[in-house]
Amino acid sequence: MTTKRIKGFEDSYVVEGKMALPYTYFAGRVGSKFITTIRDQNKIMGVKCPACNLVYLPPRQVCDKDFTDIRDKWVDVSNTGKVENFTVVRYNDKHLPRKAPFVLALIKLDGADTPFMHILEECAIEDVKIGMKVEAVFAKETTSTILDIDHFKPEAEKISVHEINAARKQWVPVDEPDTEGKRKGGKPDMSTPVIITAALTGAATMRNQNPAVPYTPAEFAEEAYKCWKAGAAMVHVHAREDGGMATHDHERIRATHDAIKQKCPELIVNLSSAVGMGKTAEQRISQIVAVKPEMASLNTNTMNFGIVDRKTGKIFIDYVFENTFTMLQDFGKAMQENGVKPEIECYDMGGLDNAILIGKQGIFTDPINFNFVWGVAGGQQFRAEAFIAMMNALPPKANFTTCGVGTDEFPCIMQSCILGGHMRVGLEDNIKMPNGDLAKGSYELVEVAVAIANALGRPVATTAEARLIMGIKKR
Amino acid sequence: MAHKKNRNVGIIGIGQTKHSSHREDVNQPELIHEAVSLALKDAKLTMKDIDCVVHGNMELFEMVHSPDLWHVLGTGAYGKECIRITTGGTVGATISCASDNLVASGMYDIVMAIGFEKLQEGHTTGGITNMACPLWFRKIQAGALTGSSAYDVEREFGVERADKASLTYRIIMDKHAGLNPNAHRAFGLEFSQIDDLIRTSPKLVGNLKLIEMCSQSDGACCVIFACEKKAKEIAKTPVWIRDHITVHKEENFNIFGYDRKFPVLKTHKFAAENLFKRNGITDPINYFDVFEMYDPASWWAIDWIRDFFGLKGDEHLKLIEDKEIMIGGKMPINPSGGVIGSNPIGATALIRVAEAAMQVRGNAGPHQIPTPVNHALASGFGGTMWTVMTMLEKELNW
Amino acid sequence: MAEYWGIKVEDIFNTMQERFRPEGAKDVDAVFGYDIKDEGKWKLTVKNNEMKIDKTSDLAGCIATMEADGETFVGVNTGKVDATNAFMSGKVKVEGDMGAFGKTGKLFRKYVIAQKEMTVKDYLADMFATVVSRFKAKEAEGLEASFAFDLGGQEGGKWTVFIKDKVCTVTTTIEGKPTVTLEFNDAKDYVDFILGKIDAQSILAAGKASAKGDINMMASKWPILFEKYKDPMGGNIPEQELIVLKKTISVNQKFSTGPIMGKFLKGLKDKKIYANKCPQCGRLQLPPREVCAECRVRAADFVEVGPKGEVRYMDLVYYAMPDPLTGVARETPYGGINILFDGCKGNETLPHFIRKDQIEKIQMGWNEKKGTRVRPVWEENRTGDIWDIKYFEIDE
């Protein structure tokens, strides 16, 4: 093979050669965790530098800006993000991951501060835009490399509740007398925004039932934030220890409450005053007084609260949930004195009557907010007519929301929404989606509630509207 | 005439990883970060104090091009001047020389030299093969391995004495490595095993046996250099760099003519003679208190001791046979266990400088020489026969 | 028979048959010996993708024999001892054909140490045996209670833990009316629950257990009264998976020969070997280089040398290295020789390979002694490449 013929260089020519050498790459602990989490859990994780507050993706052991060791500062980032920049590869080469033409995009995932490069597909090249929302598509066959994310694709169009709310007129209360006739058989007011509450954990839902159950304050904050993004105006919280046990420890409850408020300041946090099984009255109320959330649950009736086989009736746990009149009175007073708005939990009509009876002491202020709870072993099952009966028994100006254990969740919230009431969903009550799949988190259940509201044409309440409706003053 | 320096340069910080063949837990920048953190800690400095980073390793040994790009995560060079140097096995010594020059010139006050290698990731022999002319030598050479030194020594002193000297040297290095917590290979060999090992250790090339060859290690080393003023401010016992010399020669795959009428240039001998002459050192074996020698295999080592110190006849073999090169001996060589004990190539020659400096400081740890170390020598070896030598001093009095 | 890490030398040999990988035995037809100090000798015969292991007193006829002590042998086979270290430090020796013995490495799957697990019964015994020592008396001020455990299944049993006057006692019966009784259908679930493998809620929800009496006492008080049970098997924390990717870098390249090397390579096409001569010092260079590095002058004059010559040096290579063109390891042993062609002197040698079967016969030359005479064996179709000479062979 001869190239140039220059005098004196007649003997010069070009030889084809090749270099082929085996090598091994060690990803190290940080890199390995990044890849195995993508591979095994389809979850993308970065590391956050506590010194400069940047979330690095891909993760690294050291922050190159300030040299801080950040190898164990793991944070979840979203599988979705925005295209920061992109290029179209228009030549073929065996070292390239795809046949030309294809798009390589710099994608900044939601929750990360650094963009990283990946393939963008399922989208015509001319439609790729800077700023477009994309989501990760995970590979079916693993290579234990970054290609365990096979590619990114444009994110499915999902108009966020917040965008809709920003576009519509803010709801203002109409000062007209609330009559019994207005509700009883009457046309419910579908123009009032529906408040969606996410009950993140309860005391009993464990991670082996649904891995999305938060335990640590940071996990609560993250999950609460996702629920708010999905459309929830309030979260109901039972704080947990790292191991998952329900706790009455003030510091832990405060840390959990504060973490949520810090991550998502406008969200209403509703703490449980039941906490978990076997807690004393003092343990139950002192934490509310100490933390002073905007809202807290208030239970109305001493009742069975066990675990029973729904098919055979066999008793697994026989437990009496103690809520004496005295407790109802004392808790109610404590909440009133500390500016905590109670959410009155009614497991049956008797509970509702108890609250009205003890409420005659003047410990509740309008509007009183009730929650109808369905499907607890010891309480009543969901029945449409029972729901209407309870609604009709409410005092004037009262609000009602509802929640149902397991499969009771969806029918009861739908009925509530139809009747002008509000909706509570979340992993505390139910771990599955309507199709039986495990919910990825309480936020997915919030999305179901939003869909119900959309189907019925009811606006979803913003946090500000929720405060107005329930009579809560923002702290 | 010694190297002209605008100002004196001292070593003020040293860090190295534990060298190992099992570092799957870190990637390259993470490994480097370990050494850098240790050196900063040793000097009680932070990355903010460093003016310039000089970074090096073997080309393509991990099959990664331009590794200095992503190594910034470990080197700390973000927003700083960073120079990458690669010169083969000498690279560690070369970055030490470059750092010395950068400070001595007045360009920077504090320079950090970082050498690293992850040999488990690449293919050493394959990598070295690519160093050679692709049209001829690349296709036929055996990487870094050759039995030629063994052949030389055996022909001169007889197979039996040569073999024994090589294994004696090897076991001394193993005993030293046993004292060095950072050493990669420390087998716990005993002198009584010499005959056994000569018989049973597998041959690699010619009479070069597996036991006589250096390890393939993952490891990194970081050394911080400072100008005299800063060095005195920062360090209690800065170690002064008196001089260094580098000698290259043509590639020498075709030197094996074995015709005594046509001697081959030996760069170690050439470098040593020149270095000592221009510094007025006439009796190097008595002048230096310790020598950290780049010894890729025991055969080379025993041959090179003669070259470095200008020894005659079999004086070098006697030093080994009388175990005078052991810690506590007349001319301690490689208290660290040497390259035979740990060889993360891009760091190896810098480790020689670092270990020699630790001996001068007197805080090398279990492998510290018991007698005072005022003058230390370190060597680097690379290419097909290149030499870098560095002289270290305890006092600024030459 | 001595045991190392609970394993006997015999165990390694006895499991060879089941650990045998026929795919690793392709092209292996040999008898290997094992001489394990104080334990005995074994003979491994591999042929036709099958194997046979015999305890023997005579290792004659083995192509290679491994020598080690029992501990090292078991250690290397189970990964408890670093094989490289053992081998290099002489704790493992191989007599005979080292290269052949290397193939035994691919013959067997690794010996996996059977985990000596604790049974449910072992765990229960341990859990209740440690109850008293885990009891925190100061938390039991004024408390009088009894905790009954009724654990079903074959390995189950009944226990009652009494607390009175800050003293804790345990019985293996359930009597009277305990303060609280925990019933598990299968004791294994209880063990898993205590070890943290499953949580109480899901056991209860699945109907595998139930609680009677003062549940608060069990749920809230028990964890305060007793220190957590520690698993004597340790942690159960899985080691993090570390990703190690094996790849081959493969890049096509082009090289310009330049006029000097080009002339030399083209000469090979005509079965001619050209050296170039330094006009200053007169030395010849093979293969030719543009410049004499010593004199720093261009050397463009050519002299034809050889093609026969003598071997001045041979590197006998036992260590498999990859061919830089393919990344595949070369077959060993092979001989790399430096040839001093007729017409050259001193160090003017050219490196190439010697015919494989002649390695043993090669003598290296120096001043007082002539090396073996060799001649090139030419390729039929020559392209101007190093491989136009297949190899050199002895010129007889």
The 8-class DSSP code of residue C23 comes to G
Q: What are phi and psi of C98, to 5 degrees?
A: -60, -40
Query: What is the rounded CA–CA span in Å between residue A377 and residue A307?
Result: 6
Instruction: Please report which confidence band the pLDDT of residue B54 belongs to, taking 50, 70 and 90 as the band edges.
Output: very high
With vertex at residue C39, the alpha carbon angle to CA C36 and CA C41, rounded to the nearest 5 degrees, is 55
Provide the mean pLDDT of chain B: 91
Are residue A240 and residue A385 in the same domain, yes or no?
yes
CA distance B51 to chain A (A): 15
- Residue B92 included in any domain: yes
Which residue on chain C is closest to A14 by alpha carbon? C256
Count of structural domains, chain A: 2
* The residue type at C231: D
Instruction: Check if A145 contacts C (Cβ < 8 Å).
Output: yes
- Residue B221 included in any domain: yes
Are residue A253 and residue A356 in the same domain, yes or no?
yes
CA distance C314 to chain A (A): 26
Which chain B residues in 282-321 lie under 8 Å from chain A, judged by CB atoms? none
Contact at CB, C94 and B200, closer than 8 angstroms: yes
Are residue A218 and residue A349 in the same domain, yes or no?
yes
Give the domain ranges of chain C: 3-106, 120-225, 258-394
- Lowest mean per-residue pLDDT among A62-66, B9-13, B53-57, B223-227: A62-66
Which chain B residues in 31-60 lie under 8 Å from chain A, judged by CB atoms? 33, 37, 46-47, 60
Contact at CB, C95 and B189, closer than 8 angstroms: no
Which chain A residues in 243-272 lie under 8 Å from chain C, judged by CB atoms? 243-244
- Rounded mean pLDDT of C92-96? 85
Instruction: Please report which confidence band the pLDDT of residue C202 belongs to, taking 50, 70 and 90 as the band edges.
Output: low
Question: Cβ contacts of residue B101 below 8 Å, gap of 6+?
Answer: none
Strands B203-205 and A320-321: unpaired
Query: What is the rounded CA–CA span in Å between residue C226 and residue C136?
Result: 6
Query: What is the rounded CA–CA span in Å between residue A39 and residue A44?
Result: 9
Provide the mean pLDDT of chain C: 86
* The pLDDT of residue B254: 58
- Residue B388 included in any domain: no
- Residue B111 included in any domain: yes
Strands A55-56 and A44-48: antiparallel
Which residue on chain B is closest to A63 by alpha carbon? B73
Contact at CB, B46 and A67, closer than 8 angstroms: yes
Q: Is it the case that residue C330 has pLDDT exceeding 80?
A: no
- Rounded mean pLDDT of C230-257? 75
- Residue B166 included in any domain: no
Contact at CB, B148 and C257, closer than 8 angstroms: no
Instruction: Check if A181 contacts C (Cβ < 8 Å).
Output: no
* The pLDDT of residue C90: 82
Nearest to B197 among C90, C247, C294 (CB): C90
Nearest to B73 among A17, A19, A64 (CB): A64
Asked whether the beta carbons of B98 and B85 are under 8 A apart, the reply is: yes
Q: Residue B56 is part of which domain span?
A: 9-124+217-225
CA distance B195 to chain A (A): 36
Asked whether the beta carbons of A85 and A132 are under 8 A apart, the reply is: no
Query: What is the rounded CA–CA span in Å between residue C110 and residue C79?
Result: 8
Residues of chain A with confidence (pLDDT) below 50: 1-3, 185
Contact at CB, A23 and B123, closer than 8 angstroms: yes
Nearest to B24 among C244, C349, C366 (CB): C244
Which chain B residues in 109-138 lie under 8 Å from chain C, judged by CB atoms? 123, 125-126, 129-130, 133-138
- Rounded mean pLDDT of C69-86? 84
Nearest to C266 among A11, A145, A309 (CB): A11
- Residue A395 included in any domain: yes
The CATH number covering residue B101 comes to 3.40.47.10
Q: Residue A72 is part of which domain span?
A: 28-154
- Specify the residue for token string 């080691």: C239
- Rounded mean pLDDT of C259-281? 93
pLDDT tens readout for residues B288-343: 999 999 999 999 999 999 999 999 999 999 999 999 999 999 999 999 999 999 99
* The residue type at C195: L
* The pLDDT of residue C172: 87
* The residue type at B132: A
- Rounded mean pLDDT of B180-195? 91
Are residue A192 and residue A125 in the same domain, yes or no?
no
Are residue A273 and residue A384 in the same domain, yes or no?
yes
- Specify the residue for token string 């203002």: A172
Sign of CA dihedral A439, A445, A448, A452: positive
* The residue type at A88: V
Helix segments in A379-441, DSSP class H: 384-392, 409-418
Are residue A284 and residue A412 in the same domain, yes or no?
yes
Instruction: Check if B118 contacts A (Cβ < 8 Å).
Output: yes
pLDDT over 70 percentage in chain B: 96
Q: Which superfamily does CATH assign the domain made up of C3-106 to?
A: SCP2 sterol-binding domain (3.30.1050.10)
Are residue A228 and residue A124 in the same domain, yes or no?
no
- Rounded mean pLDDT of B145-164? 91
Among C319, C355, C349, C350, CA closest to C335: C355
Query: What is the rounded CA–CA span in Å between residue B38 and residue A69?
Result: 13
Query: What is the rounded CA–CA span in Å between residue A198 and residue C365?
Result: 89
- Rounded mean pLDDT of C316-340? 80
Query: What is the rounded CA–CA span in Å between residue B132 and residue B251?
Result: 8
Q: Is the pTM of this model over 0.80?
A: no
Q: Is it the case that residue B2 has pLDDT exceeding 70?
A: no
* The pLDDT of residue B255: 64
Per-residue CA distances from B196 to B200, B201, C52, C82, C157 (Å): 6, 8, 30, 20, 61
Strands A399-404 and A369-374: parallel
- Residue A12 included in any domain: no
Buried-state track B336-350, b at ≥16 Cβ within 10 A, e below 16: bbbbbbbbbbbbbbb
Contact at CB, A62 and B30, closer than 8 angstroms: yes
CA distance C326 to chain B (A): 11
Question: Which tokens belong to A219?
Answer: 């996990």
Q: How many CB atoms lie within 10 A of CB C153?
A: 15
- Residue A251 included in any domain: yes
- Rounded mean pLDDT of C151-157? 88
Q: Is it the case that residue C198 has pLDDT exceeding 60?
A: yes
* The residue type at B193: Q
Nearest to B135 among C89, C244, C261 (CB): C261
Q: Are both C3-106 and C120-225 of the same fold? A: yes
CA distance A372 to chain C (A): 23
- Residue A175 included in any domain: no
Instruction: Check if A101 contacts B (Cβ < 8 Å).
Output: no
Contact at CB, C210 and A27, closer than 8 angstroms: no
Q: Is it the case that residue B347 has pLDDT exceeding 90?
A: yes
Burial of C80 (0-12, 13-18, 19+ CB in 10 A): middle
Instruction: Report the DSSP beta bridge partners of residue A401.
Output: A371
Which chain B residues in 30-69 lie under 8 Å from chain C, judged by CB atoms? 63
Are residue A149 and residue A229 in the same domain, yes or no?
no
Per-residue CA distances from C328 to A18, A394, C101, C374 (Å): 13, 83, 20, 29
Question: Cβ contacts of residue B338 below 8 Å, gap of 6+?
Answer: B173, B176, B177, B292, B293, B295, B301
Count of structural domains, chain B: 1
Q: How many CB atoms lie within 10 A of CB C23?
A: 8
Q: C: neighbours with 3+ CB pairs under 8 Å?
A: A, B
Query: What is the rounded CA–CA span in Å between residue B143 and residue B205?
Result: 11
Within 13 Å, how many C-alpha atoms sit on residue A305's CB side? 21
pLDDT over 90 percentage in chain B: 71
Instruction: Report the DSSP beta bridge partners of residue C183.
Output: C150, C210
Interface test with C, best of A3, A18, A308 (most C CBs within 10 A): A18
- Residue B66 included in any domain: yes
Specify the 3-state DSSP secondary structure of B308: helix
Please report the ipTM that was assigned to this predicted complex: 0.85
Asked whether the beta carbons of C390 and C379 are under 8 A apart, the reply is: yes
- Residue B178 included in any domain: no
- Residue A205 included in any domain: yes
- Residue B74 included in any domain: yes
Nearest to A26 among B27, B33, B134 (CB): B27
pLDDT tens readout for residues C377-396: 999 999 988 899 999 999 98
The CATH number covering residue A241 comes to 3.20.20.70
Specify the 3-state DSSP secondary structure of B140: helix
Which chain A residues in 446-475 lie under 8 Å from chain C, judged by CB atoms? none
Asked whether the beta carbons of A272 and A292 are under 8 A apart, the reply is: no
Among A456, A450, A445, CA closest to A159: A450
Q: What is the largest CA-CA distance in chain A?
A: 114
Q: For domain C120-225, give the CATH number.
A: 3.30.1050.10
Per-residue CA distances from B328 to B164, B277, B306, B340 (Å): 21, 27, 20, 20
DSSP class per residue in A289-301 = HHH--SEEEEE--
Strands C180-184 and C145-151: parallel
Nearest to B121 among A23, A31, A60 (CB): A23
- Residue A20 included in any domain: no
Which chain A residues in 273-332 lie under 8 Å from chain C, judged by CB atoms? 277-279, 307, 309, 312, 314-319
Query: What is the rounded CA–CA span in Å between residue A457 and residue C49?
Result: 74
Instruction: Check if B200 contacts C (Cβ < 8 Å).
Output: yes
Interface test with C, best of A14, A15, A41, A249 (most C CBs within 10 A): A15
The 8-class DSSP code of residue C328 comes to P
- Lowest mean per-residue pLDDT among B297-301, C172-176, C193-197: C193-197
Instruction: Kindly tell me the number of DSSP H helices and DSSP E strands found in chain A.
Output: 12, 21
